[in-house]
Amino acid sequence: MRTRIVKPAEQQHEVPDGVDALLDRAYRYAFSLAHDAAEAEDLLQDACLSILASGGPWERSYLFATVRNRFIDRYRRNRKILFLSLDRHDDREEDQPAELNWEAPDVLRNGLLDRALSLLRAEERETLFLAVIEGYTAEEIAELTARPRGTILSLLHRTKAKLRQLLGKQQVLP
Amino acid sequence: MNTKKIDDQIRDYYESQRPSPQTVARVKQMIGAGAPVHSRRRLWIGIAAAVAIAVATFIWTAAHRVALSPQQVATSVARQAAFGHNQKQELEFRVTNCADLQRQMKSLDFSLVEPAMMKEMNMRIVGARYATLAGEMAAQIFYVDAHGVPCTLYEARSTDQLARIAAGEHLIDGLRVAVWKENGLVMVLARPMA
């Protein structure tokens, strides 16, 4: 019987436990930034390559930070405006009182929510995603995005208000 | 009309987003392999490029050494001597005659010779240091003339490149640099122009 001797270089490394769930979460975070499935897959793959090359840990916070860095690098390279100054107060919605978790009709159907999210800025979607889906506190979002905690709280409030207004507008459209 | 909290709907929306099975399989394969394939390839390309550059540099240097004409060797050595003179480096040995210097510079692989020209010009030896000339070990000897003007003499064995050196005089950086051979040694004297 022939036995194949596996050379050290060919040895397979063990895939960390829970990597499927981690990849799903990182993909969703990438999707929240890019709002494009193909772009999110590229970001995820780039981030994983970067972690492999650096030997970094397979942890959510590290993977998220790497995805974010890759996103910024990519858009900087493409000379696209990525994040606007968060110190601007030019959103009219900000002044309107907004319930942060309101009862809404089914906005998943007909792609209403998808369209409304596509109209948000990257940092708005990112903050919404981290707070609502990942359950990050304002402190944790501030740490990941290197912004003051107060700015994050204000951004989250404005984003919710903006989303509500966008959904309201779309629902009355034919 | 059915209603639902907006956060729940946002959660449902993002949880319905998943990477394609192909992407997940590819990423897991990369993780299993341990390191990105393209990184290893880049590493090997980098090593190969470094080796190629080293080989090319070696070949070029060897060819250049062989191809240098006697005049080019002399010019190169004269420039080096002029530079060495202007640097005014510290003396390693303080002596008053060549015999003392020979005794102290034990690491030299040749015997020092006091050029006849130095005596004719009333040059007085004040010290020396080890140096190299065209890659050969040399003695950099410091003299002063009758007016106290410093001069620098290099002595080295006449081997390899120096064996083909052309005798002559070069004017470099306000210095007059004389190159000649004497008693099997190459002599290079740098002194200020009068």
- Give this prediction's pTM: 0.52
Contact B5 A104 (CB under 8 A): yes
pLDDT of A11: 46
Q: Which pLDDT band, with edges at 50, 70 and 90, does A6 fall under?
A: very low
Q: What CA–CA distance (Å, rounded) separates B189 from B115?
A: 10
How crowded is the C-beta side of A69, counted as CA atoms within 13 Å?
Answer: 13
Coil, helix or strand at residue A36: coil
Note which residues in 45-74 of chain B have CB less than 8 A from chain A: none
**How many beta-carbon pairs under 8 angstroms link A with B?**
105
Q: Which pLDDT band, with edges at 50, 70 and 90, does A25 fall under?
A: very high
Query: Per-residue b/e over B33-62, b at no fewer than 16 CB within 10 Å?
Result: bebbeeeeeeeeeeeeeeeeeeeeeeeeee
Backbone region of residue A113 per phi and psi (left: phi > 0; alpha: psi in -120 to 50; beta: other values): alpha
Adjacent-strand bridge partners of B171:
B176
Q: What CA–CA distance (Å, rounded) separates A96 from A99?
A: 10
pLDDT digits (tens, 9 = 90+) for B19-46: 999 888 888 888 877 655 455 566 667 7
pLDDT of residue A82 exceeding 70, the answer is: no
- A98 touching B (Cβ < 8 Å): no
Which chain B residues touch A133 with a CB distance below 8 Å? 10-11, 14-15
pLDDT, average across residues B76-100: 87
pLDDT of residue A4 exceeding 60, the answer is: no
Q: CB neighbours of B100 closer than 8 A, spacing ≥ 6?
A: none
pLDDT of B78: 93
Contact A106 B39 (CB under 8 A): no
Tokens 């402190």 found at: A139
Written as one string, the DSSP assignment of A122-162 is HHHHHHHIIIIIS---HHHHHHHHT--HHHHHHHHHHHHHH
pLDDT digits (tens, 9 = 90+) for A125-150: 999 999 999 999 999 999 999 999 99
Give the residue, B3 or A173, on which the prediction is more confident. Answer: B3
